[in-house]
Amino acid sequence: MPVKRVVAFRFHRDPLVCRDRISLVRRLNPGVPVHGIFGGPGGSRGAAFRLFGRRVLGLDALYISRHSGHWNWKNGDLVLLDWYREIGHRLSFDVLYFLEWDLLLTESLERLYATVPRDAVGLTAPTPLSVIGDDWRWTAGHDEAREWRELLAFAQARYGCDYGYDVVPHGCLGDGPCFPRAFLDDYAAADPPAFGNDELRYPLFAQLLGYPVADTGFRRAWHCPEDDSYFNNLGEKSITWETVASELAKPDGRRVFHPVRGPLRGLTFEPGAGGPRRGASRRGE
């Protein structure tokens, strides 16, 4: 039976880049709805997106988070759950893909997530904390370490687990996860607290709620410096378009890149085409 998909597209800036990215997702995935989640600052910018964002960006619908921009950045999963409780639960889908505005996908969701079973939580580089090491911000910082302990205490009190004995603690990269509908139902019902961040809570609650975790494969390993030129969370430096074009020209090259923070440079993509071509769209040149 075909998988019924939906995209939740999270963004907080650069509407022209977002419009390009949403258009590409639609071209590569005909018929898949794309719902926007604006997680940027409120005020006039939030009001403008509320009035015009859906039409300008080409979205099926637009949800404006009621929280601050920093809170939304730290707690992407909780923003998604707010959207799901208010809007998403009424939609018909089997799997939801949670895509960031600066994540570039150059093939269809079906192809890119082919290794993620439809009943599994798809995460990027899920890795035991013992492998990640002691210098990761979300477990090493003073306030972050305190929140991590509070999150574990919540898990133990609610689920009676000994985290580290019953289940192995993991982190992941928060870019490009996918979730079966049943997981979103259970995750919303669990009402997780805002301790830690989404990159800790995703693998934790998948374990607590009994869902298998599958690696998206977008990055080969947490500690893999040679992947930094294609997929990383190292800061504001964008993956170059020369790198993207070079990989897309290879039959076995990369097809997912992060972060990419510019509009498409004359590259167009078609479903099933297997790569880019120079074409009608010249935006960004």
Residue in this structure with the two tokens 């949670």, named with its chain if needed: 98
Does residue 24 lie within any of the structural domains?
A: yes
In a domain? residue 110: yes
* pLDDT recorded at residue 32: 98
Tell me, what DSSP letter sits at residue 126? E
- Whether 178 is in a domain gets the answer no
* pLDDT at position 180: 98
Kindly indicate the confidence band of residue 284, based on its pLDDT and cuts at 50, 70 and 90.
very low
Helix (H) or strand (E) holding 112: helix 109-112
Instruction: State yes or no: pLDDT of 90 exceeds 60.
Output: yes
Residue 232 lies in a domain: yes
Write down the pLDDT at residue 265: 65
Does 245 reside within a domain? yes
Assess whether pLDDT exceeds 50 at residue 281.
no
pLDDT at 278: 39
Residue 198 falls inside a structural domain:
no
Residues 31 and 4: their CA atoms lie apart, in Å, by 10
- What tokens appear for 259 in the block? 């972060």
Burial of 220-258, coded b for 16+ CB within 10 Å and e otherwise, reads eebeeeebeebbbeeeeebbebebbbebbeeeeebbbbb
pLDDT band at 81; cut points 50, 70, 90 = very high
In the chain, the number of structural domains is 1
Average pLDDT, the chain: 89
Alpha-carbon distance 138 to 22, whole Å? 30
Find the domain containing 54 and state its range: 5-114+224-278
Instruction: Report the range out of 48-57, 58-67, 176-185 with the highest average pLDDT.
Output: 176-185
pLDDT 10s digits, 228-274: 999 999 877 899 999 999 999 999 999 999 999 988 766 666 665 55
* Confidence check: pLDDT of 149 > 70: yes
Confidence of residue 282 (pLDDT cuts 50, 70, 90): very low
In a domain, 135, yes or no: no
At residue 170, the 3 state secondary structure works out as strand
Task: Decide: pTM greater than 0.85.
Answer: yes
235: in domain: yes
